[in-house]
């Protein structure tokens, strides 16, 4: 097999040839207006010129390990590239920050197919173009399995303002964008071999809620926010814990589509388990005193079609707890993914 063939591995090509390919490839999208890349891939570090408005810098980093966070039989390299960037951009969204640029530490086995690596970087670029975040630097190393760590930089939508998960106060409403549980439904469909393209796409190509976050900060002076990566219950618990309040989740108010109900029936699962404890939806979960109509109007004025649902409230106390539509306590076993 020649080094130029379609079955070339990284070991065939060597690092330098692959980085040469990558360097030419990484020219889009451009950085946001006002930012410039002075030194890009191929030096000891990247050097960025910041826009004068960038008084604050938001920085997030997330690692994803083959066999722990994903299985390559269930996600192709292009979707994996998309998702690796998208989940970091979701963290920026949770801080109401606008992406500036991303950096990648990628560990792969030497026998990795060049075609898979190219597809991975194409997927990163797909997400970068869609959400305005170029990959501008990183590190490529040998590893026993695919090991992906992305660091994304952003600038707060409202200069000088920080959106924390720790600023919930009793008396606010709890909202969620979009719908949760659909990524878990997609993962279950992959595990079972079901055809469920809508949910599988939600699992493989999540959409960071960046414009939604921008709309929210524009109308909510009292916003506490997190993105739903571990599940609504777990992430509401994070808000509760960080803020020193209790968060009540009204299980009757969680948006569950008819399609999700049908899929749950096929899988023999209660759809509420997915909606409550399924992870990787990358929706925004937030508390505010502002009303649903105000938020909806802000979304509409920016032509954001994403639904929002009021799914609970903050009260004095601690922890996240489940209630029904009448406010009575509900007990359900917790099905959240445990990292350790």
Interacting residues toward its own copies by CB under 8 A: 10-11, 13-15, 38-39, 42-50, 54-65, 67-69, 91-92, 94-95, 97, 103-107, 110, 136-145, 147, 149, 151, 153-154, 156, 162, 164-166, 225-227, 242, 339-340
User: Which 8-state DSSP code applies to residue 113?
Assistant: B
- Residue 102 C-beta: closest distance to its own copies, Å: 10
**99 vs 181 by CB, closer to its own copies:** 99
Q: How far apart are CA 175 and CA 222, in angstroms?
A: 13
Cα–Cα distances in angstroms (integers) from residue 84 to residues 120, 141, 142, 225, in the given order: 9, 17, 18, 21
The residue among 178, 218, 181 whose CA lies nearest residue 196 is 181
Q: How far apart are CA 101 and CA 98, in angstroms?
A: 10
Q: How many CB atoms lie within 10 A of CB 83?
A: 25
**55 vs 261 by CB, closer to its own copies:** 55
**224 vs 323 by CB, closer to its own copies:** 224
**200 vs 236 by CB, closer to its own copies:** 236
Contact status, residue 71 vs residue 191, Cβ threshold 8 Å: no
- Residue 204 C-beta: closest distance to its own copies, Å: 19
Q: For residue 108, how far is the Cα from the chain centroid?
A: 22
**245 vs 267 by CB, closer to its own copies:** 245
**212 vs 250 by CB, closer to its own copies:** 212
**104 vs 246 by CB, closer to its own copies:** 104
- Residue 159 C-beta: closest distance to its own copies, Å: 10
Q: How far apart are CA 226 and CA 96, in angstroms?
A: 10
- Residue 106 C-beta: closest distance to its own copies, Å: 8
Q: Which residues contact 30 (CB under 8 A, 6 or more apart)?
A: 134
Strand partners, 313: 173, 248
Residue 249 host element (H or E): strand 246-250
Helix axes 258-267 and 197-204, enclosed angle (nearest 10): 90
- Residue 62 C-beta: closest distance to its own copies, Å: 5
The residue among 144, 126, 146, 143 whose CA lies nearest residue 135 is 126
- Residue 266 C-beta: closest distance to its own copies, Å: 30
- Residue 119 C-beta: closest distance to its own copies, Å: 18
Q: How far apart are CA 236 and CA 225, in angstroms?
A: 9
Which residue carries 């760590």 as its tokens? 149
**39 vs 316 by CB, closer to its own copies:** 39
- Residue 30 C-beta: closest distance to its own copies, Å: 17
**147 vs 314 by CB, closer to its own copies:** 147
The residue among 205, 178, 181, 216 whose CA lies nearest residue 94 is 216
- Residue 174 C-beta: closest distance to its own copies, Å: 17
Beta-sheet pairing, 329-330 with 319-323: antiparallel
């Amino acid at each position: 097999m020649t080094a130029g063939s379609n079955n070339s591995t990284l070991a065939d090509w060597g690092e330098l040839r692959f980085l040469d390919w990558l360097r030419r490839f990484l020219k889009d999208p451009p950085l946001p207006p006002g930012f410039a890349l002075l030194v890009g891939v191929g030096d000891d570090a990247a050097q960025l010129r910041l826009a004068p408005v960038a008084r604050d810098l938001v920085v997030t980093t997330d690692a994803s390990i083959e066999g722990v966070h994903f299985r390559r039989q269930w996600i192709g390299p292009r979707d994996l590239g998309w998702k690796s960037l998208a989940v970091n951009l979701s963290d920026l969204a949770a801080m109401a920050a606008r992406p500036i640029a991303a950096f990648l530490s990628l560990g792969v086995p030497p026998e990795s197919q060049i075609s898979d690596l190219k597809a991975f970087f194409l997927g990163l670029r797909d997400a970068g173009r869609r959400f305005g975040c170029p990959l501008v630097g990183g590190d490529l190393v040998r590893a026993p399995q695919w090991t992906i760590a992305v660091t994304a930089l952003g600038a707060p939508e409202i200069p000088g303002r920080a959106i924390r998960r720790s600023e919930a106060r009793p008396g606010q409403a709890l909202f969620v964008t979009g719908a949760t549980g659909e990524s878990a439904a997609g993962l279950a469909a992959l595990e079972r071999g079901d055809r469920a393209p809508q949910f599988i796409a939600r699992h493989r190509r999540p959409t960071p809620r960046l414009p939604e976050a921008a709309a929210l900060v524009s109308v909510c002076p009292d916003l506490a926010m997190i993105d739903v990566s571990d599940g609504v219950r777990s992430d509401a618990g994070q808000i509760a814990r960080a803020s020193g309040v209790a968060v009540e989740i009204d299980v009757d108010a969680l948006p569950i589509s008819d399609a999700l109900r049908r899929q749950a029936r096929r899988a023999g699962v209660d759809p509420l388990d997915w909606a409550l404890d399924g992870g990787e939806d990358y929706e925004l979960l937030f508390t505010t005193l502002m009303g649903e109509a105000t938020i909806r109007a802000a979304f509409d004025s920016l032509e954001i079609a994403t639904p929002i649902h009021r799914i609970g409230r903050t009260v004095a106390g601690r922890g996240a707890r489940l209630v029904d539509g009448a406010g009575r306590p509900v007990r359900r076993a917790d099905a959240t993914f445990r990292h350790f």
